[in-house]
Structure 1
Amino acid sequence: MKKIAIFGGSFDPIHTDHVNIIKTCKYDLGFDEVWVLPAYVNPFKTVSTSSVTQRLEMIDLAVKNLNYVKVKKFEIRKTVRSYTYDTILHYVTNYPNFDFSFIMGSDQLDNFEKWDHFSDLIKTVKFKVFIRDPEHINNEIIKKYNLETFKFDNNFLSSTKIRNLIDIDLQIKEVNDYINKSLLYLYERLETKMEEDRYFHCLNTGQAALQLAQMNNYDLQKALIAGTLHDITKRWNDEKTIDIIKKYDQSLLKEPKPVWHSFSGAFHLKYEWLFDDEEIINAIFKHTVADKEMSVLDMIVFCADKISIERDYPGIEKIRTLVYRDLKLGFIELLKNQYEASVKKHGKENIGSKLIDSYKYWVKEEVNSE
């Protein structure tokens, strides 16, 4: 009789500890197959922050080399909440020659008796409990129902941690890359760290960058990502901003404080989100004061930030028209405007060397070439 471990959960997102539990089921507990069963909505949660398709794609990435894993869509394709009892009854009824066990984490034990049709469920299938946190485990429930418990290669991860950028270095790289490139979990990663108008400016800049990418035959997703994330550290306090800049390039602190967020944002993405796309990192690094070397994406993000839909400064419609017509000329005009406004407000000696260097290279060179 084939032994099947049913491993249910939200998997929002799937992470390394999920995979380690799967491997333990196969190699230590002797299951022939592990059926991963993502839920449409966990009955104890009210919302999922990624789509059905995205969660399935992340699961596929995580288990692509595990040929004993089957991803089952019985629950996730439903349009109403799913309960474990309905699922187990379905599989036990339709596969009478299979020996099923249900995999659960010890963190679920406190609510175990609240599961739908619990008294029938506990008689229908065997439960295998994996110890997530040895210091917080409901031994009373374990003894009451004579549940088997198991250890595994435990990194003490959770989907909540991953969504909130905690212990990202322990996450499956392919899944983390997918999350970054799909701009998943922005609510947890952005909105709770900045005020509403700044959050919507980030979203608007992403859309402006997307539009400019379409006009300039550039990678749409890269532009959307870089534009959306350009101000991710804009509202960090000085201490946090200084710490990350000191850690990776202390010389940048000589630049004016208002532009620090472009440097801290690039470092935050590269070293704390583990973003590995250098084009995106560079575009965020350069979006305030530009640089002598500006790629198409660099110009797109620089301009998108300054012409996003909520911007309403004098002359904005004229500059938008110029940027839409010619990205490079629009970039140069915006850089010229920024330089002149900064000098007028702060004095040339207080605007930093990077803006001066960019201005000399792009604006003066353009004038000399005419």
Structure 2
Amino acid sequence: MRNVALFGGSFDPIHTDHINIIKACYEKLGFDEVWVIPAYVNPFKNLSASSVSQRIEMIEMAIADLDYVKLKTYEVRKQTRSYTYDTVEHYQKNYPDLKFAFIMGSDQLDSFEKWDKFDKLIAAIEFKVFLRSDRFNEKIVEKYNLETFEFENNYLSSTKIRNLEDVHLQIKTVNNYINNNLMYIYERLESKMGQERFYHSLNVGQTALNLARLNNFDLNRAMVAGTLHDIAKNWPKEKMQAIIAKYDSNLLTEPEPTWHSFAGAFHLQQDWVFEDEEVITAIYKHTVAAKEMSILDMIVFCADKISVERDYPGVEKYRSITYADLKTGFKTLLKQQYQVAVKKHGNDKIGKQLIAAYKFWIEEDN
């Protein structure tokens, strides 16, 4: 009789420790297969932060090289809250020739006795408990004579990943998928930048997408770069100063209002483990531009200044120009920004980067 481990959970997102538990089931516990069963909605949680299709896609990426792992969609197909007993009953009834055990993390032990139809469940199937942390509910383990196992533990959790903790330990393909699809954006941005800045960022993302459509550029990458452009805008001065000093201290000579663009680029690169260099560069350049400006650089620079909520004098004219011709719009907005900066701060305090961009695109290009 083949032994199958049932591994259920929200997987929002699936991460490295989930995979390490799966590998331990196969390599150390001797299971022939591991069936990964994403929940539609975990009964102990609110609605998932990502869609069912997104979670399934991430799981498929994570298990792509593990031929003994199968993705089972029984719970998500039901489109109701998921209860372990119903799932176990379903698989035992439909696969009587297989012997099942259920995999759980030690973090679930505290609520274990609250699981639906618990008395029937504990009698119906064996449980294998993987120790997710050094502290766990030993009373429950002893009471039900549960087996516990260690595994290659990075002490990750889906909550940590959603909140940008230990992202460097995450599965690379899954992390790229999360970044490139702006997943968990509310947790990662709104709570840190405030509602007004968050909505500005969403507006810039949409404007960047519109400009990308007009200029035959990748719509998704433009939206991602536009949405993330102000990621560090509301950081304290000291936090921006620290990350800039760590990766390029020369930038601290630039005016403080431009620091967030550099800090944001470094933050994405280091803390999000963001791998799209063109997106990072566009965010780096979005305040004062540069001599070299790609299509995406121009899109984000312009989108930031003409997004739908902007209402400064002349903005409708700038929108019309930019939507008609991106390069002309970019140069017009750069010239306007330079003139405003000089009027407000004087020639000596507008920064070398803005001066260099202005000379190249406005003075030398004439």
Alpha-carbon deviations, 1:3-44, whole Å to 9, x = none? Answer: 000000000000000000000000100000000000011100
Q: Return the alpha-carbon distance in structure 2 between the equivalents of residues 122 and 316 of structure 1.
A: 66
Alpha-carbon deviations, 1:62-117, whole Å to 9, x = none? Answer: 11000000000001122211100110010111111110000000000000000000
Q: Return the alpha-carbon distance in structure 2 between the equivalents of residues 239 and 76 of structure 1.
A: 45
Q: Return the alpha-carbon distance in structure 2 between the equivalents of residues 348 and 76 of structure 1.
A: 61
SS of aligned partner of 2:4: strand
Alpha-carbon deviations, 1:343-367, whole Å to 9, x = none? Answer: 001111111010011111111123x
The Cα of 1:168 is off from its aligned counterpart by 0.8
Q: Return the alpha-carbon distance in structure 2 between the equivalents of residues 229 and 358 of structure 1.
A: 22
User: Does 1:80 pair with 2:103?
Assistant: no
Equivalent position amino acid for 2:288 in 1: V
User: Does 1:307 pair with 2:306?
Assistant: yes
Alpha-carbon deviations, 1:182-241, whole Å to 9, x = none? Answer: 100111110110111100000000000000000000011110110000000000001110
TM-score, normalising length from structure 1?
0.98
Q: Return the alpha-carbon distance in structure 2 between the equivalents of residues 78 and 48 of structure 1.
A: 15
1:364 — aligned with what?
A: 363
The Cα of 1:283 is off from its aligned counterpart by 0.2
1:293 — aligned with what?
A: 292
Q: Within 5 Å, which residues of 2 pair with 1:53-202?
A: 53-134=53-134, 136-202=135-201
1:331 — aligned with what?
A: 330
Q: Return the alpha-carbon distance in structure 1 between the equivalents of residues 364 and 335 of structure 2.
A: 12
1:215 — aligned with what?
A: 214
SS of aligned partner of 1:320: helix
Q: Return the alpha-carbon distance in structure 2 between the equivalents of residues 176 and 321 of structure 1.
A: 37
Q: Return the alpha-carbon distance in structure 1 between the equivalents of residues 279 and 102 of structure 2.
A: 43
Q: Return the alpha-carbon distance in structure 2 between the equivalents of residues 211 and 53 of structure 1.
A: 26
Equivalent position amino acid for 2:10 in 1: S
Alpha-carbon deviations, 1:47-74, whole Å to 9, x = none? Answer: 1111111101100111100000000000
2:347 — aligned with what?
A: 348
1:248 — aligned with what?
A: 247
1:3 — aligned with what?
A: 3
Alpha-carbon deviations, 1:295-324, whole Å to 9, x = none? Answer: 000000000000000001111111100000
Alpha-carbon deviations, 1:261-286, whole Å to 9, x = none? Answer: 00000000111111111110110000
The Cα of 1:164 is off from its aligned counterpart by 0.7
Please list every run of at least 4 consecutive aligned residues from structure 1 whose deviation after the TM superposition is greater than 6 angstroms: none
Q: Return the alpha-carbon distance in structure 1 between the equivalents of residues 181 and 50 of structure 2.
A: 10
SS of aligned partner of 1:207: helix
Alpha-carbon deviations, 1:157-194, whole Å to 9, x = none? Answer: 00001111111111111110110001001111101101
SS of aligned partner of 2:116: coil
Equivalent position amino acid for 1:178 in 2: Y
Q: Return the alpha-carbon distance in structure 1 between the equivalents of residues 194 and 20 of structure 2.
A: 38
SS of aligned partner of 2:36: strand
Gaps in structure 2 of 5+ consecutive residues: none
2:225 — aligned with what?
A: 226
Equivalent position amino acid for 2:290 in 1: D
User: Does 1:52 pair with 2:49?
Assistant: no
Q: Return the alpha-carbon distance in structure 2 between the equivalents of residues 141 and 272 of structure 1.
A: 37
1:322 — aligned with what?
A: 321
Equivalent position amino acid for 1:123 in 2: A
Q: Return the alpha-carbon distance in structure 2 between the equivalents of residues 215 and 320 of structure 1.
A: 13
Equivalent position amino acid for 2:47 in 1: V
Equivalent position amino acid for 1:318 in 2: K
Structure 1 vs Structure 2 CA RMSD? 0.6
Q: Return the alpha-carbon distance in structure 1 between the equivalents of residues 321 and 83 of structure 2.
A: 56
TM-score, normalising length from structure 2?
0.99
The Cα of 1:251 is off from its aligned counterpart by 0.2
Q: Return the alpha-carbon distance in structure 1 between the equivalents of residues 223 and 355 of structure 2.
A: 28
Equivalent position amino acid for 2:253 in 1: K
Aligned residues: 366
Equivalent position amino acid for 2:255 in 1: P
Q: Within 5 Å, which residues of 2 pair with 1:249-268?
A: 249-268=248-267
SS of aligned partner of 2:186: helix
SS of aligned partner of 1:149: strand
Q: Return the alpha-carbon distance in structure 2 between the equivalents of residues 330 and 166 of structure 1.
A: 39
